[in-house]
Amino acid sequence: MPSSGQDKPFLVYERPIDPANPDYNQGNPAFSKDQWWAGDQGLFLGGMAEVLDLQEQLWEVPTIKDDDPTFPENAQNMLQWVASGIAWLFDPTQVLHEATLHGQFRSNYAADMATGKGVMMRYLNYAMRKAELDPKPFIERSAVAVISSLDDDHQVSFWWNDRTDTKLGTNEQNVQHDDPRFLPTAQSAGLDALNAAIQYVKESTRSSASAAD
């Protein structure tokens, strides 16, 4: 899903699709044209960042040499495009949201979808730094929103704040969660966001200390 701008941000679809075979479907529920998931973006970004960290070793793999002579330039571009594209999942206050969940993605499979923002937050700092982008506002403000979403029983909401004005929109507030796994999963995703903030502060403190030395 590219933008029309020069920065070429992209997002990864929640289900694979074969453009040469329009009838191809994989997974249950099946491919949905307008379905994106924060978890897929996080896994892709984390994987591409790791590829770049291992680029010297990977360049020795015959398949890479034969099929991608531009490596690692192509990998760097893909990381940059998706790292830019994830801004579409954050509201104007830099708090993370799921894109609108369709059909069974917001009912029977809601517990799976509830993991997504946590997965994104686990990889955000690593991947955005590798893409030479600043993760700080996304990590800090999402963590603050998670804490603010706590209810009287100290449970994290799936909807980290009450905004819906991301570029892709969201229906987190209307997701059905009869599945008993949904609420524990939402707690786990919130903890991932808080852990990402802790790790970011630790890394920033170490960097500042090293610079001072």
- For residue range 114-147, what is the model confidence (pLDDT) as tens digits? 999 999 999 999 999 999 999 999 999 999 999 9
Q: What is the pLDDT of residues 29-85, one digit of tens each?
A: 878 878 999 999 999 999 999 999 999 999 899 998 888 888 999 899 999 999 999
Distance, CA of 196 to CA of 200 (rounded, Å): 6
The alpha carbon of 154 is separated from its chain's Cα centroid by a whole number of angstroms, namely 25
Instruction: Kindly state the greatest CA–CA separation across the chain.
Output: 60
User: Residue 90 in 3-state DSSP?
Assistant: strand
| pTM of the full structure | 0.89
| 119 class by beta-carbon count within 10 Å (0-12 exposed, 13-18 middle, 19+ buried) | buried
Distance, CA of 75 to CA of 79 (rounded, Å): 6
Please give the pLDDT value at position 4: 38
Q: Does residue 5 register a pLDDT over 70?
A: no
Nearest to 36 by CA among 125, 97, 121, 93: 97
Please, what is the Cα angle at 158 between 157 and 164, to 5 degrees? 105
Distance, CA of 133 to CA of 186 (rounded, Å): 27
